Amino acid sequence: MSLKRKDLLSISSLSPEEIDLILEAAEPFKEVSGREIKKVPALRGKTVVNLFFEPSTRTSTSFELAAKRLSADVINFSPGSSSVVKGETLLDTARNIESMQADIIVLRHSSSGAAESLARHVRSSVINAGDGWHEHPTQGLLDLFTIKEKKGRLSGLSVAIVGDVAHSRVARSDIHALLKMGAEVRVVGPPTMIPAFIERMGVKVFSNFDAALPGVDVIIMLRLQLERQGRSLFPSMREYATLYGLNSERVQRTGTDLLVMHPGPINRGVEISHEVADSSQAAILDQVSNGVAVRMGLMYLLSQLQ
């Protein structure tokens, strides 16, 4: 079986079968990352371009590592985003990269839809590494992989996504991913951070964190963008931490063997307390290592097509 698509742009466009396929493909690469020599020749001779218009050490490092462990040549490209009119550069840059014979372009961009428009203009495979508030599909996939690894299943689980859902591409990809795989999703946050009509996606909405806790198997805490305080989305970090922070007491209240996740980087003491972040229930570091495996699996599948 192979992935019958050139690009990975969103979770919303994937079928559950395709998601399973990617998760399965990631499995053996998880094992590779545990080896002494963490390299396989799967992408030897291929070129992967990491094109990051927004700085993100975490995600670009994960992609770089994944590509290198597959023996691909990796070029990191981060055009300054402030000095140029966004978007004009995206297409201009795309044409340049085409001429470098890139097999895979990994794109991070501040505009929703950037990956889709890049994919339309290049022959290379495009992997969306985050576009605006739209999607971050590899994060969605690695979250599924981590939950499945820890819980043994996805279907029938109850998952809460907590925080600034409105401005989060991670939340959107996670919601699509979890719903497609048969989980129940609760989104939790102040109404200022819950976007219009999100319940139509098939999620339950809570503005009271405690009310959302009973029976939840997994909690995904979103990172609070601290600069949003100035835009009247929440009054203070202190109040946010009180109302929407995850602490041991709230973990208790779920009444389950809770799995705690966070896409990182964490604001300790804001969205998540020290104790919880460092507890055995937290899978935050597993997410990081699984991220490499999932990205290896994905790049492997996309390269099979070429």
Which residues bind to other proteins, rule: CB under 8 A?
Answer: 12, 85-88, 90-91, 109-114, 116-117, 131-135, 166, 169, 172, 195-198, 200-201
In the complex, least distance from residue 168 CB atom to other proteins, rounded to whole angstroms: 8
Give the strand pairing for 47-52 and 259-261. unpaired
Asked if residues 216 and 159 have their Cβ atoms less than 8 Å apart, the reply is yes
Pick between residue 194 and residue 251 the one whose CB is nearest to other proteins. Answer: 194
In the complex, least distance from residue 290 CB atom to other proteins, rounded to whole angstroms: 24
What Å distances lie between residue 285 and 56, 59, 152, CA to CA? 17, 14, 18
Pick between residue 166 and residue 283 the one whose CB is nearest to other proteins. Answer: 166
268, two tokens:
């300790």
Tokens 């559950």, residue located: 16
Pick between residue 46 and residue 134 the one whose CB is nearest to other proteins. Answer: 134
Pick between residue 89 and residue 289 the one whose CB is nearest to other proteins. Answer: 89
> Which residues, 6+ apart, have CB-to-CB distance to 184 below 8 Å?
156, 157, 158, 159, 204
Which residues sit opposite 135 in a β-bridge? 131
What Å distances lie between residue 247 and 83, 163, 212, 251, 275, CA to CA? 41, 14, 14, 6, 7
Query: First-to-last CA distance in the chain?
Result: 14
In the complex, least distance from residue 112 CB atom to other proteins, rounded to whole angstroms: 4
Active site residues: 58-59, 86, 108, 136
In the complex, least distance from residue 116 CB atom to other proteins, rounded to whole angstroms: 6
Q: Which helix (H) or strand (E) holds 115?
A: helix 114-121
Residue 185 backbone dihedrals phi, psi, to 5 degrees: -120, 130
Pick between residue 175 and residue 246 the one whose CB is nearest to other proteins. Answer: 175
281, two tokens:
């229930």
